A and B are shown apart, each in its own frame.
Chain A
Amino acid sequence: MSDLTDLSVTEMRAGLAGGKFSSRELVQAALDQISKFDAALHAFLHIASESALKQADEADQNPKPDRPLDGIPIAIKDVLMVEGLPCTCGSKILEGFIAPYTATSVQRLQEAGAIIIGKTNTDEFAMGSSTENSAFGATHNPWDGARVPGGSSGGSATAVAARYVPAALGTDTGGSVRQPASLCGVTGLKTTYGRVSRYGLAAFGSSLDTVGALGRSADDVALIFSIMAGHDERDATSANQPVPHTNFEADVVRALKVGVPKEYFISGIQPEVAQRTRAAIETLKDLGAEIREISLPHTEYALPVYYIIAPAEASANLARYDGIRYGPRVQADNLWDVFFKTRGQKFGPEVERRIMLGTYALSAGYYDAYYGQAQKVRTLVQRDFEEAFREVDVIAAPTAPTTAFKIGEHVNDPLAMYLEDVFTLPANLAGVPGISFNVGFDENHLPIGLQLIGPHFREDLLLQVTHAYQQATDWHKKQPKLAR
């Protein structure tokens, strides 16, 4: 029954409704696939076999076919809380922590019938672009085990690419859904800031954090998105905006204006990435889209802006990890030393670097020069997008400058790692949605992603265009040959 793991959400739904297989069989097939391959890939930090099988039996005994995810296995990035399951955020500072409640995004999937199969690996507190910063060991790319899957949602991207689950949740603060989707050859949606509730998400950069979905096609991602999106009064930044139905019947590409920013095709980008993304844009043209070269002139400033704002917010958000109320405590004679020792010993190097950087940028005498200036340049980056969207409907560009790099390649050079996100960070600074999907491979047979960026709250348009591309091509159907 290994073919069960190849099915999309829609196919699983149809099969369950038609009695072709049971939810238990689906969940068991997912667990079998995980036990076969995850010793090598390490996409999961926690596998919830027992509760997943129990829920599958319940779904089989009492099917509710009106629920769109009834009995379907899904994976959740380990920064989102699921009541009763561990939530480590990839950090030793939350080792042993059991979530006392469930994140709204996850809860909505569960109410739609989804079965949570486990928690996926992540860079510590989602800080990273390779999943190597996980305190519990790196995840390996399903296309080449010597390479990274991208990050920080590398566990979720791997779980989808390796056919463990048809879809998974990730989070995107600077590219953490789109970049691993690109490096693993899957479809990953970064939602508009405020579109999906962050209640139950461990905060990293609060003006940037978004919850997104990864799947193997725009159809599945659209379904997950439509279920979890929408206002939640438990998150004060949650937008009270209607979530439109994504109409896949509409031929949106025929009248579509696609902007291609010249700043995203820079020297230094891997030549095959530029070639394949250009070819994908040609495909959109063949489908009827009008292609226009545009300029996002402040693109080169997005990375320095991000590396002030995100660490500044992180340094404040991570102040809560002090060894007092949850997580392990390094014992000391006085309270002061508990803080210092617990944090110093339990946080990993990338988290410490960012806390230090953020603390510095916010400290007396430096605030205006760093944080103040970054906030102003952020405005300029946002204006670039506002002006572009007066001229075009969507922006098309590479998701990442390279395909999957080797494990260990960038670990001693934080700045080189940060540059992996150079094309994804701007959308976070502007709060706009983005999507990445596979448009081909390089000479090492590593996937290449095209990124589409849209105006606020136009996830439906990004999903429609992605769907149209996936109807015309079959790159999204390519599968890695998994090694044990």
Chain B
Amino acid sequence: MSLSQQEVDHIARLARLVLTEDQKKLYREQLSSILDYIAKLRELDTRNVPPTAGGGSTAMILRVDEARPGFAIQVLLKNAPTAEEEQFKIPPVFE
């Protein structure tokens, strides 16, 4: 199956990626050939097969939902591209 240019634009937008025209062209070709390969899965009749969501052979183990000490704010802000006082600083959300 072949992806259209509009589909590539749409996926890139959903994925929050700005791509150059060259990248869009390349990914369109490459993803189309990968999707062709993946289409092999349709050969199988899976009407009576339950889906597997996880990789585990045991159930997830939950702990009691109680508050515990977390990281100090200043420790986490050290990796922030921009911060002010005790907050991440970002460009305006609304124009």
Q: Which of A62-70, A107-115, A299-307 contacts B (4 or more CB under 8 A)?
A: A299-307
Q: How far is the CA of A347 from the CA of B82 in the complex (A)?
A: 20
Given A98-B78, A334-B95, the answer on whether A356 and B33 have CB atoms closer than 8 Å is: no
Given A324-B90, A379-B52, the answer on whether A353 and B81 have CB atoms closer than 8 Å is: no
Q: Are B92 and A335 in contact (CB under 8 A)?
A: yes
A236: B residues at CB distance < 8 A: 60-63
Q: How far is the CA of A305 from the CA of B82 in the complex (A)?
A: 40
Q: Which residue of A lies closest to B46 (CB)?
A: A376
Q: How far is the CA of A359 from the CA of B30 in the complex (A)?
A: 15
B90: A residues at CB distance < 8 A: 324, 335, 338
B58 within 8 A of A: yes
Q: Are B31 and A335 in contact (CB under 8 A)?
A: no
Q: How far is the CA of A236 from the CA of B41 in the complex (A)?
A: 31
Q: Are A431 and B57 in contact (CB under 8 A)?
A: yes
Q: How far is the CA of A406 from the CA of B40 in the complex (A)?
A: 29
Q: Are B34 and A414 in contact (CB under 8 A)?
A: yes
Question: How many interface residues does A have (CB within 8 Å)?
Answer: 79
Q: Which of A311-340 contact B (CB under 8 A)?
A: 315, 319, 322-329, 331-335, 337-340
A379: B residues at CB distance < 8 A: 49-52
A208: B residues at CB distance < 8 A: 55
Name the one of A97, A233, A456 contacting B63, with C-beta atoms under 8 angstroms.
A233
Q: Are A238 and B61 in contact (CB under 8 A)?
A: yes
Q: Are A356 and B92 in contact (CB under 8 A)?
A: no
Given A335-B90, A359-B14, A415-B34, the answer on whether A329 and B82 have CB atoms closer than 8 Å is: yes
| Distance to closest chain B CB from A38 (angstroms) | 27
Interface residues on B, range: 35 or more
Q: Are B55 and A207 in contact (CB under 8 A)?
A: yes
Q: Which of A201-237 contact B (CB under 8 A)?
A: 207-208, 231, 233, 236-237
Q: Are B54 and A343 in contact (CB under 8 A)?
A: no
| Distance to closest chain B CB from A310 (angstroms) | 11
A237: B residues at CB distance < 8 A: 54-56, 60
Q: Which of B40, B50, B57 is most buried by chain A, counting CB atoms within 10 A of its CB?
A: B57
Name the one of A100, A303, A323, A343 contacting B71, with C-beta atoms under 8 angstroms.
A100
Q: Which residue of B lies closest to A322 (CB)?
A: B16
Q: Are A207 and B31 in contact (CB under 8 A)?
A: no
Q: Which of B71-95 contact A (CB under 8 A)?
A: 71, 75-76, 78-82, 88, 90-93, 95
| Distance to closest chain A CB from B25 (angstroms) | 13
* Chain A contact residues, majority secondary structure: helix
B67 within 8 A of A: no
Name the one of A207, A327, A339, A457 contacting B54, with C-beta atoms under 8 angstroms.
A207
B23: A residues at CB distance < 8 A: 349, 352
Q: How far is the CA of A305 from the CA of B46 in the complex (A)?
A: 13
| Distance to closest chain B CB from A296 (angstroms) | 15
Q: Which of B27, B79, B80 is most buried by chain A, counting CB atoms within 10 A of its CB?
A: B79
Q: Which residue of A lies closest to B78 (CB)?
A: A98
Q: How far is the CA of A445 from the CA of B62 in the complex (A)?
A: 50
B14: A residues at CB distance < 8 A: 359, 363
Q: Are A355 and B15 in contact (CB under 8 A)?
A: yes
Q: Are A338 and B51 in contact (CB under 8 A)?
A: no
Q: Which residue of B lies closest to A355 (CB)?
A: B15
Q: How far is the CA of A333 from the CA of B94 in the complex (A)?
A: 10
| Distance to closest chain B CB from A213 (angstroms) | 19
Of the A-B pairs whose beta carbons lie under 8 Å apart in the complex, a sample of 17, sorted by A's number, is A193-B54, A194-B57, A208-B55, A303-B37, A324-B80, A324-B88, A325-B88, A335-B93, A344-B19, A352-B17, A352-B19, A352-B23, A355-B15, A375-B51, A376-B44, A379-B49, A380-B49
Interface on B for A, CB 8 Å cutoff? 3, 7-8, 10-12, 14-19, 23, 26-27, 30-31, 33-35, 37-42, 44, 46, 49-58, 60-63, 71, 75-76, 78-82, 88, 90-93, 95
A98-B78, A356-B8 provided; 16 other pairs, C-beta below 8 A?
Answer: A193-B55, A193-B56, A193-B57, A207-B53, A239-B58, A301-B44, A325-B80, A329-B81, A334-B95, A340-B16, A341-B18, A344-B17, A357-B31, A372-B51, A373-B41, A431-B57
Interface on A for B, CB 8 Å cutoff? 96-98, 100-101, 192-194, 207-208, 231, 233, 236-241, 300-301, 303-305, 307-308, 315, 319, 322-329, 331-335, 337-341, 343-345, 347, 349, 352-353, 355-357, 359-360, 363, 369-370, 372-380, 382, 414-415, 418, 428-431, 456-457
